[in-house]
């Protein structure tokens, strides 16, 4: 591939804007589809009047092991920004375990060597088979191998899901897992669950939106502070009865015996954070590895441990310093090549998805390719439950985006609106409908400015979520209902395709939109963008949606 993109000779348009409606998929129009239920005249109009294809946004189309695997924002933005499909975290980890490469690594042996005498080996991570941030099978495989490799005491700190899996499915994982670790425990190796809590309450914050979550996780896992229970099942059952919350919102708990926590983290221990996805793994990694200048919260006690992540979560900052599996090397991204070609770029979102239009878009790379040509802007997110403020920061994002468009400084722009995903994850249909309507208002504002500037907008999504707010019966294809007749809320992503609309009244570029025969994935967007900017698609990238000329 030539280092500089070639002119296409078919005309060009500036500006070209990519709008990512995070979590907005295409699904059956029914009473649990918030995208369908919402009043969205702008989205409805462009989907009706403009060229549109349906993009694959899950499974092998985004580098995941199988088409039963939901897409997610991380891999979705990798594909959107790189124009290519790379083997992603879940697949990489599975391959490393199955081949034995993980257990032959220097990091694994370093961790195990540290605990063969009196130390404890700790595992912290999301406790489900959602396969978005982690997989419980990876944890089980490591536990079996750790015992075989001489670990004498193992403690597991479980972060309950209810987001990438059923919202109240925690006991479906805890009960068989307790049987599994009981079968591992014997005179040579003592294995126990030590602490836990909901993923949206402790430990798994991202983009430094709420360091208090990480602080609560530190107190729970490391210091053993918090409400004590005899077992994880007892904690989950008690909290559900008392609070009526779903798994992701369950408070922290500590497993104790005779009033003493069974698994605090001490000097000489080893710790593995076993999530493979990076965004919600970076802050806890920084907390373990932060030196005396760490200032996000008072850690009270900082044990001298050997710490490693499943992957290197930030390749530029090298967080963490030790990891078990090397992440995919994503090269030749759109941002890099546009910068090398002299194309000015603007990227914006609010905190919850800011890293997706920057870090993930650029192939898991922090920072810019060109300080001169690139501008990144983050609108601070509110720290409130998303269902209480479902419009989030979409109006503020749009205000700044319109300023950037009208400034004339930028040829290529991108924006992520988190509403459909973040509010969809709450399971509240009413709030998600409101989120979609708020987003649509902003879409109308943006399209009017695109017309004013004679530009082009590509309106798409990274995966589905708001389109399916209830669990679907696989046999009937209909939403599931609870015993009381209400719909069984779904808080996870979907397997549905996502829209990709080309909004173009400019007449600046001659092209035709290819027939949609199901061949396009998210990685087709990059080639389309550079074509509209007047360049040929690089050979490494996947097929563009348009034919020039």
- Rounded CA gap, 67 and 51, in Å? 26
Q: Which residue has the higher pLDDT, 209 or 5?
A: 209
Cα three-residue angle 444-445-449, rounded to 5 degrees: 115
- Rounded CA gap, 163 and 327, in Å? 24
Q: Which of 73, 71, 250 is nearest to 167 (CA)?
A: 250
Mean pLDDT, residues 346-368 taken together: 95
Give the CB-side neighbour count of residue 354, counting CA atoms within 13 A: 18
HEC sequence for 221-266: HHHCCCCEECCHHHHHHHHHHHHCCCHHHCCCEEEEECCEECCCCC
Q: How confident is the model at residue 3 (pLDDT cuts 50, 70, 90)?
A: very low
Q: Is 521:55 a contact under the CB 8 Å cutoff?
A: yes
Q: Encode 346-359: b = buried (16+ Cβ within 10 Å), e = exposed.
A: bbbbbbbbbbbbbb
- Rounded CA gap, 547 and 532, in Å? 10
- pLDDT for residue 471 is more than 80: yes
| Among 8, 73, 195, 344, the one annotated catalytic | 73
- pLDDT for residue 418 is more than 90: yes
- Rounded CA gap, 153 and 233, in Å? 21
The confidence score (pLDDT) of residue 350 equals: 98
- pLDDT for residue 2 is more than 70: no
Computed over every residue of the chain, the mean pLDDT equals 94
- Rounded CA gap, 418 and 153, in Å? 42
Q: How confident is the model at residue 435 (pLDDT cuts 50, 70, 90)?
A: very high
- Rounded CA gap, 98 and 345, in Å? 41
> How far is residue 426 from each of residues 209, 432, 465, 534, measured CA to CA in Å?
17, 8, 11, 41
Distance, C-alpha 17 to centroid of its chain: 22
Q: How confident is the model at residue 8 (pLDDT cuts 50, 70, 90)?
A: low
- Rounded CA gap, 96 and 78, in Å? 21
Mean pLDDT, residues 383-387 taken together: 94
The confidence score (pLDDT) of residue 401 equals: 98
Told to judge if 73 belongs to the known catalytic residues of this protein, a careful annotator would answer yes
The confidence score (pLDDT) of residue 83 equals: 98
| Domains along the chain with CATH numbers | 16-88+329-548 (3.40.720.10), 90-325 (3.40.1450.10)
The confidence score (pLDDT) of residue 315 equals: 62
Q: How confident is the model at residue 5 (pLDDT cuts 50, 70, 90)?
A: low
- Rounded CA gap, 235 and 261, in Å? 14
Q: Encode 253-287: b = buried (16+ Cβ within 10 Å), e = exposed.
A: bbbbeeeebbbbbbeebbbbbbbbbbbbbbbbbbb
Q: What is the pLDDT of residues 344-353, one digit of tens each?
A: 999 999 999 9
Cα three-residue angle 348-436-349, rounded to 5 degrees: 10
The confidence score (pLDDT) of residue 66 equals: 78
Q: What is the pLDDT of residues 476-524, one digit of tens each?
A: 888 999 889 899 999 889 999 999 999 999 999 999 999 999 999 999 9
The confidence score (pLDDT) of residue 348 equals: 98
- Rounded CA gap, 513 and 549, in Å? 11
Q: What is the pLDDT of residues 162-176, one digit of tens each?
A: 999 999 999 999 999
Angle of helix 89-99 relative to helix 136-148, nearest 10 degrees, comes to 30
- Which of helix, strand or coil describes residue 433? helix
The confidence score (pLDDT) of residue 328 equals: 78
Q: What is the pLDDT of residues 49-82, one digit of tens each?
A: 999 999 999 989 998 877 888 888 989 999 999 9
Q: What is the pLDDT of residues 297-332, one digit of tens each?
A: 999 999 999 999 999 887 657 899 999 998 778 999
Q: What is the pLDDT of residues 137-160, one digit of tens each?
A: 999 999 999 999 999 999 999 999
- Rounded CA gap, 253 and 258, in Å? 15
Q: Which of 350, 412, 420 is nearest to 375 (CA)?
A: 412
């Amino acid at each position: 591939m030539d280092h500089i993109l070639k002119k296409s000779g078919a005309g060009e348009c500036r500006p070209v804007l990519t709008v990512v409606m995070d979590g907005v998929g295409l699904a059956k129009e029914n009473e649990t589809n918030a995208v369908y239920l919402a009043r969205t005249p702008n989205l409805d109009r462009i989907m009706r009047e403009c060229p549109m294809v349906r993009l694959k946004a899950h499974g092998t189309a985004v580098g995941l092991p199988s088409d039963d695997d939901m897409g997610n924002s991380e891999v979705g933005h990798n594909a959107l920004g790189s124009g290519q499909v790379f083997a992603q975290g879940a697949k990489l980890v599975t391959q490393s375990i199955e081949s034995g490469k993980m257990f032959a690594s220097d990091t694994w042996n370093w961790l195990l060597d540290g605990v063969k005498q009196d130390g404890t080996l700790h595992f912290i991570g999301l406790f489900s088979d959602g396969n978005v941030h982690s997989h419980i099978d990876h944890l089980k495989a490591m536990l079996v191998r750790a015992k075989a490799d001489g670990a004498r005491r193992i403690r597991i700190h479980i972060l309950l899901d209810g987001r990438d899996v059923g919202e109240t499915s925690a006991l479906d994982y805890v009960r068989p897992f307790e049987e599994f670790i009981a079968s591992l425990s014997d005179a040579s190796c003592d294995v126990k669950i030590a602490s836990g809590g909901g993923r949206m309450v402790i430990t798994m914050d991202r983009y430094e939106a709420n360091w208090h979550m990480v602080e609560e996780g530190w107190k729970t896992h490391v210091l053993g502070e918090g409400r004590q229970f005899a077992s994880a099942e007892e904690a989950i059952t008690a909290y559900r009865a008392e609070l009526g919350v779903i798994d992701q919102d369950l408070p922290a708990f500590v497993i104790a015996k005779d009033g003493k926590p069974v698994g605090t983290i001490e000097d000489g221990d080893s710790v593995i954070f076993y999530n493979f996805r990076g965004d919600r793994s970076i802050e806890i990694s920084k907390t373990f590895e932060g030196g005396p200048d760490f200032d996000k919260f008072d850690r009270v006690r900082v044990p001298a441990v050997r710490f490693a992540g499943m992957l290197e979560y930030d390749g530029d900052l090298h967080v963490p310093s030790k990891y078990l599996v090397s992440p995919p090397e994503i090269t030749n991204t759109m941002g890099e090549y546009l910068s090398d070609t002299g194309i000015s770029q603007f990227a914006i979102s609010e905190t919850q998805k800011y890293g997706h239009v920057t870090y993930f878009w650029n192939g898991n790379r922090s920072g810019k390719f060109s300080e001169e040509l690139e501008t990144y802007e983050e609108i601070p997110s509110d720290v409130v439950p998303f269902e209480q403020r479902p419009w989030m920061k979409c109006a503020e994002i749009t205000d700044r985006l319109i300023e950037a468009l009208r400034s004339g400084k930028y040829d290529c722009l991108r924006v992520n609106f988190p509403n459909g995903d973040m509010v969809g994850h709450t399971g509240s249909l009413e709030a998600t409908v409101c989120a979609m309507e708020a987003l649509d208002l902003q879409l109308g504002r943006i399209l009017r400015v695109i017309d004013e500037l004679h530009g082009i907008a590509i309106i798409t999504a990274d995966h589905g979520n708001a389109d399916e707010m209830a669990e679907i019966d696989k046999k009937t294809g209909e939403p599931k209902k609870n015993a009381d007749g209400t719909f069984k809320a779904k808080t996870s992503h979907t397997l549905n395709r996502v829209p990709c609309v080309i909004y173009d009244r400019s007449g600046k570029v001659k092209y035709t939109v290819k027939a949609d025969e199901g061949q396009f994935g998210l990685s087709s967007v990059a080639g389309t963008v550079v074509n509209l900017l007047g360049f040929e698609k690089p050979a490494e990238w996947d097929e563009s949606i348009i034919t020039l000329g």
